[in-house]
Structure 1
Amino acid sequence: MLHFRYSSLINAPVEDVWNFHERSDILQLLTPPWQPVEIIRREGGLDVGAITEFRLWLGPIPVQWLAVHTECDCAERSGGANRYRLFTDEQKQGPMESWVHRHQFSAEQGQTRLTDAISYSLPGGWLAENLLAWWVNSRLEDMFRYRHEVTKRECENK
């Protein structure tokens, strides 16, 4: 199992950053323009059971990526200081052997610490992971840097 983590501090309340992630156009906003990705559908918002479907292009080959939200800790389910804490999506079909992505939101001195934590396995086992983990993590680093910059810009300039 491989791990990737990207975290940044956003000068906005947790509720604002969470609400940004609930926008109907969030996938269009957070998908880097250089990525060969088509958004097929998004259903259910951030709640458990929500579905996101993409088509990735690996060269000329289309690959379906279907993710389902398996965890959501938000205002409707919790009260007090930990409202809008996290949501998790898991790949049900796609290019990875496994993929679990936790989106974490925490208050930090009036700001929001946004953390994306991913545990994944590549098809091909240990050999593929030893050969390709550095490349996958560098692509994830580029993508999440972009996503966090967009989130920061949108949430801080309200």
Structure 2
Amino acid sequence: MKIYTLNRVQILPVKIERAWDFFTSPHNLSKITPTSLDFKVLSKNDGPIHPGMIIRYTVTPILGIPLNWVTEITHVEYQHLFVDEQRFGPYAFWHHLHKFKEVEEGVEMEDLVHYALPFGLLGAIAHELLVKNKLNDIFDFRTKVLREIFGAP
């Protein structure tokens, strides 16, 4: 199984508390996801993020076909990092590390995603033709929306 990597870093001109509170609320995910994906959080998680937290979503990545996606928060270091890992969903493997670091301009937020696709060679072809670009578009959209929400450094 081929494991791919996506890495993005963005500076947010806010205090660490504001960045942490925003990113650790599952309900904010739909705000930073393109509307074309029809991303919906199904879980009613209102408490603080914690290891073992299960988050359920639906997402419509291609051809208007909705998919169920379930992730688990596996690691949390308050105001430093958290990890979500797919338990059920469109990927064969999904590990998303969210890191936060206070810097002079505000908060450096890093997304490090390791992922793999199912279906062997067909998955590799789909990655090159569709998935890689789709993920980059999603994170480009996210960067743009975060600038609108928090401003630019």
User: Normalising by the residue count of structure 1, what TM-score does the alignment of the two structures yield?
Assistant: 0.81
TM-aligned CA deviation for residue 106 of structure 1: 1.1
Q: Which amino acid aligns with 2:63?
A: G
Provide the residue aligned with 2:16 in structure 1: 14
Per-residue CA distance 1:88-129 (angstroms, 9 max, x = gap): 00000001101001111112224211111110110012x235
Q: Shift of the alpha carbon at 1:151? A: 2.5
Aligned equivalent of 2:149: 154
Q: Does 1:27 align with 2:29?
A: yes
Structure 1 counterpart of 2:138: 143
CA offset digits 1:26-82 (Å, max 9, x no partner)? 1231221121333222525421112221122342533210001001110xxxxxxxx
**Higher mean C-alpha deviation, range 111-120 or range 128-137:** 128-137
| 1:70 pairs with one of 71, 74, 84 | 74
Aligned-pair RMSD on alpha carbons? Answer: 2.1
Q: Where does residue 93 of structure 1 map in the other structure?
A: 88
**Which structure shows the higher strand fraction?**
1
Q: CA deviation at 1:132?
A: 2.7
Unaligned runs of 5+ residues in structure 1 are: 75-83
Count of matched residue positions in the alignment of Structure 1 and Structure 2: 147
**Change in 2 beyond 3 A, CA 1:27/1:131:** same
TM-score, structure 2 length as denominator?
0.83
Instruction: Quote the Cα distance in structure 1 between the aligned partners of 2:102 and 2:122.
Output: 38
Segments of 4+ in structure 1 off by > 3 A? Answer: 22-25
Match of 1:133 in 2: 127
